[in-house]
Amino acid sequence: MTKVDPDSSLERLLGLLEGHNSNLKDLLLAKTEQDFIGATEGAIERAMKTIENGSKEYAALNEPGLSHLLADCLNLMGWRATAETNNNGHVDVVVECAFGRHWKYLGECKLHKGYQYHVDGCEQLLGYSTGREPRAFCMDFINATDAFKKMTKLRAEMDEKLPLKQKAAGADHSIRGGFVTSHDHESGAVVEILHLGCSVPKP
């Protein structure tokens, strides 16, 4: 038996993760994909609050910087998240359980530049979704204090124009300012998109 450095032990890692996520057990105990989605959305909400609380510090970050920060927050809570800038300049986010489950929650992050830019991001997201993942998220980083107003306006415009084969008007979500739309995917599946606005006003 070789003695393990306490700072390198799994015990230390679990302690670190629990320090950021009192609901780590929800993730570890997730039995279904719906459980996983619920736990992941809880983590995304906590990550958004962390970013919003530090918005003075983070407002200077660009799209990739903010997305890496989101991925860092999720990694510190027991997920395995990667954020990679794609060819269109948006950032693809892939969120998985760090402890051996195969479910994925795909996402797209970008600075808020209005309806069309957001829809372009959603199109990108649906493009790299296989249809097997029932839900994905599209997060706008909003450089303004009226983030909820901007999300309400975005939702109204999406409900009016029903872009990307949106099936019906958006539905409320428990994350404040967020809403969910359903889209016919080319695979034949219906894919839901959770639209989120993270407020990072410049001081």
Partner 1 sequence: MLELLKDDTEVYKQFVQNPSFKRFVTDMVFGLTSGSATPTTDKRPSSRPLRGKNEPLEERFAQSADPRDRLGFVLLGLLEKTRRITLGDAIRAAEKVGLGDDDALAAVERLARPQTASLRRFYVDRSGAQARIVSAEEVRERSAKAPDNQHVWASVIEVVWAANEADAIAGGTA
Tell whether residue 16 is a contact of partner 1 (CB under 8 A).
Answer: yes
**Cβ 20 to partner 1 shortest distance, Å:** 7
CA 31 – CA 163 distance, rounded (Å): 34
Identified binder of partner 1 from the candidate list 57, 84, 146, 160, rule CB under 8 A: 84
Tell whether residue 7 is a contact of partner 1 (CB under 8 A).
Answer: yes
Nearest CB to partner 1, comparing residues 15 and 127: 15
The piece of 74-82, 123-131, 140-148, 176-184 that touches partner 1 (CB under 8 A) is: 74-82
Tell whether residue 97 is a contact of partner 1 (CB under 8 A).
Answer: yes
C-alpha torsion sign, points 195, 181, 38, 107: negative
Nearest CB to partner 1, comparing residues 104 and 155: 104
Tell whether residue 152 is a contact of partner 1 (CB under 8 A).
Answer: no
CA 190 – CA 105 distance, rounded (Å): 15
For residues 23-52, which are near partner 1 according to CB under 8 A? 25, 28-29
CA 199 – CA 148 distance, rounded (Å): 9
Nearest CB to partner 1, comparing residues 9 and 116: 9
Specify whether the CB–CB gap between 192 and 134 falls below 8 A.
yes
Tell whether residue 101 is a contact of partner 1 (CB under 8 A).
Answer: yes
Name 113's Cβ contacts closer than 8 Å, sequence gap at least 6: none
Tell whether residue 57 is a contact of partner 1 (CB under 8 A).
Answer: no
Whose CA is closest to 178, among 152, 156, 199?
152
Tell whether residue 72 is a contact of partner 1 (CB under 8 A).
Answer: yes
Tell whether residue 1 is a contact of partner 1 (CB under 8 A).
Answer: yes
Nearest CB to partner 1, comparing residues 25 and 149: 25
CA 95 – CA 135 distance, rounded (Å): 12
Name 12's Cβ contacts closer than 8 Å, sequence gap at least 6: 6
End-to-end CA distance of the chain: 55
Binding site for partner 1 (CB under 8 A): 1-14, 16, 20, 25, 28-29, 65, 68, 72, 75-76, 80, 82-84, 97-101
